[in-house]
Amino acid sequence: MSDLTRSAPWAALVAHHKTLAKVQMRDLFAQEPRRFDRFSLEVGPLFLDYSRNRLTNRTLSLLLDLARDADLEGWIDRLFAGEAVNHTEKRPALHIALRNRSNCPILVDGIDVMPAVNAVLERMRTFSGAVRDGSWTGFSGASIRDVVAIGIGGSSLGPRLAVEALAPYAKGGPRIHFVANVDGAEISSVLDGLDPGRTLFVVTSKTFTTAETLVNARTARAWYLEKGGDSAALDRHFVAVSSNAAKVAEFGLDPDKSFAMWDWVGGRYSLWSAVGLPIAIAIGFDRFVELLEGAHEMDEHFRSAALDANMPVLLGLIGTWYGSFFGAPSHAVLPYDRRLAQLPAFLQQLDMESNGKRVMRDGEAVDYPTGPIVWGGVGTDGQHAFFQLLHQGTRLVPADFIAAIEPDHGLPEHHRMLLANCLAQGEALMRGRTLVEVNAELAAAGLDPAEQARLAPHMVCPGNQPSNTILMRRLDPRSLGALLALYEHKVFVQSVLWRINPFDQFGVELGKKLATGILAELEAGAPSGSRDSSTNGLIARCLARP
């Protein structure tokens, strides 16, 4: 057993789980009329209802003991102080500096990073403004009509989510397209119909070594030149965002004209940096600052609120309760907002790349499950697809519902229906439908007892499926900033409880390395036969002539 699973707070939670395992949430609500007031919290633009969870005051107090035992408060201090919390790579993780609107000094190796952060933000302001107002022109003197953001993973998912989520704020800006996948189908369909004289490529890669991004950037450059683009004006059509100036230069772009980022920003935590340039171009720099402000508000709350009234801490504790003590393997993200369709994909990287780890900080193997499988999709679409499993399947699936109270469109009837469905699904998952209720319904519908007995077992919904509901007044830059920072900190909290490093991602390297070798075989047209029979067989099949 590890120190963690041997610890007194862990053992107390294991014992407490036994007493709660069969308790129905509907009974907890019946016993506690003020349960909603007790288990809800407002921070800046976000309201969280966590009353529909399988927990009591005692559960929370035991989870808080676990957090204190893990020195969560100390780890929060270390994160904000710029200590090397990413100990394997010997780096801080200072996404909070990127949105530090109070501008207080944040030191890395004794040097305040804020002047550099602010300088890049100023360049983003000038550049995004010029692209938006048409004063940044292409080789033919025309303004930019299309921006193609090339990047993958953290260099794409956050900007893509934000640009889509904040579309109503993007009036007057150019169209923004995203190219991430190495699949040529993606870049071909984006480039199709674009005018090289009016297109700007933003090539984003922290390392500037990511194979997918470099091949897409090369294809974009070849397209630009083939379509008559002026090679002397390349820097009016291509800008880089990277922490690797040497590689940017190697690619043929002027590092002095590119946008810097730093190795103390993790890719999946980077949308607040120049990686967010497509967002600033889409919605304007002032709105981008509002996004940073929303995140900063959540940072300040996370840093200063007591653990038992701290939104990211509570979400992290609740997630750990299900993952580590109920054995729930997954966590569903259910935005009731079409504009948040990219949120599950963003959170997949944030959570799974951070907490998909199997050893503790000291290198010892964990003996408890770590990060959940994050999945999800927008409501109401999901109700007509995967919700059946949530209502009547055999697995415990904790979920987050997310919705805006007011829409940004003029169709109030649609929005009322959307909200009603969001609230109803949380209620249905919590309450379920008992056999007694089903029989009463069937009797009221006039079914005879035999027919009732035949149908009733198929209609019972066990309920007791936990969920959080996060409401915001509107899906605007500030709310989105707060929401994404909330999840970043939730993931951090869980990493601390599990004693893992959420800021490295060595696991993703193996596949990349193997792909390089297989690519060489595909290019040579000759299988090496040096691998396992499956990989050899598949390579041979790809190379075989029909």
Catalytic residues: 353, 384, 512
Verify binding: residue 206, ligand F6P, rule CB under 6 A: yes
- Cβ atoms of 117 and 296 within 8 Å: the answer is no
Verify binding: residue 213, ligand F6P, rule CB under 6 A: yes
d(CA 347, CA 335): 12
Verify binding: residue 15, ligand F6P, rule CB under 6 A: no
Within residues 476-535, the interface with ligand F6P by CB under 6 A covers 505, 508
Nearer to ligand F6P, 469 or 505 (CB): 505
Minimum CB separation of residue 275 from ligand F6P in Å reads: 8
Minimum CB separation of residue 202 from ligand F6P in Å reads: 13
Minimum CB separation of residue 387 from ligand F6P in Å reads: 31
262: Cβ–Cβ under 8 A, 6 or more apart, which residues? 94, 113, 116, 243, 273
Within residues 327-386, the interface with ligand F6P by CB under 6 A covers 353
Minimum CB separation of residue 152 from ligand F6P in Å reads: 5
Please give the structure tokens belonging to residue 135: 């004063």
| Other beta carbons less than 10 A from residue 250's beta carbon | 13
Q: Which helix (H) or strand (E) holds 464?
A: none
Please give the structure tokens belonging to residue 82: 């710029």
Minimum CB separation of residue 243 from ligand F6P in Å reads: 8
Q: Which helix (H) or strand (E) holds 172?
A: none
State the DSSP string of 276-307: GHHHHHHH-HHHHHHHHHHHHHHHHHHHHS-G
Q: Name which of 354, 383, 345 is nearest 165 in CA terms.
A: 345
- Cβ atoms of 424 and 441 within 8 Å: the answer is no
Residue range at the interface with ligand F6P (CB under 6 A); choices 60-68, 153-161, 339-347, 381-389:
153-161
**Locate tokens 């393997």: which residue?**
329
Buried b (16+ CB within 10 A) or exposed e, 346-365: bbbbbbbbbbbbeebeeeee
Verify binding: residue 294, ligand F6P, rule CB under 6 A: no
Residue range at the interface with ligand F6P (CB under 6 A); choices 146-154, 249-257, 302-310, 329-337:
146-154
**Locate tokens 């469109």: which residue?**
409
Nearer to ligand F6P, 110 or 511 (CB): 511
Nearer to ligand F6P, 425 or 505 (CB): 505
Minimum CB separation of residue 107 from ligand F6P in Å reads: 25
Minimum CB separation of residue 480 from ligand F6P in Å reads: 19
Nearer to ligand F6P, 16 or 91 (CB): 91
Beta-bridge partners for 176: 147
> Which of 138, 153, 196, 312 touches ligand F6P (CB under 6 A)?
153
Verify binding: residue 268, ligand F6P, rule CB under 6 A: yes
Helix pair 57-69, 311-320: axis angle to 10 deg: 100
Verify binding: residue 86, ligand F6P, rule CB under 6 A: no
Within residues 382-411, the interface with ligand F6P by CB under 6 A covers none
Verify binding: residue 210, ligand F6P, rule CB under 6 A: yes
> Which of 51, 100, 155, 273 touches ligand F6P (CB under 6 A)?
155
514: Cβ–Cβ under 8 A, 6 or more apart, which residues? none
Helix and strand tally (H, E) in the chain? 24, 13
Minimum CB separation of residue 210 from ligand F6P in Å reads: 3
Within residues 99-128, the interface with ligand F6P by CB under 6 A covers none
Nearer to ligand F6P, 49 or 353 (CB): 353
Q: Is residue 71 helix, strand or coil?
A: coil
Nearest residue to ligand F6P, using CB?
Answer: 267
d(CA 347, CA 400): 12
> Which of 207, 231, 516, 528 touches ligand F6P (CB under 6 A)?
207
- Cβ atoms of 274 and 292 within 8 Å: the answer is no
Verify binding: residue 95, ligand F6P, rule CB under 6 A: no
> Which of 86, 199, 205, 216 touches ligand F6P (CB under 6 A)?
205
Verify binding: residue 296, ligand F6P, rule CB under 6 A: no
User: What is the SS3 assignment for 524-539?
Assistant: HCCCCCCCCHHHHHHH
Residues that bind ligand F6P (CB under 6 A): 152-155, 205-207, 210, 213, 267-268, 353, 505, 508
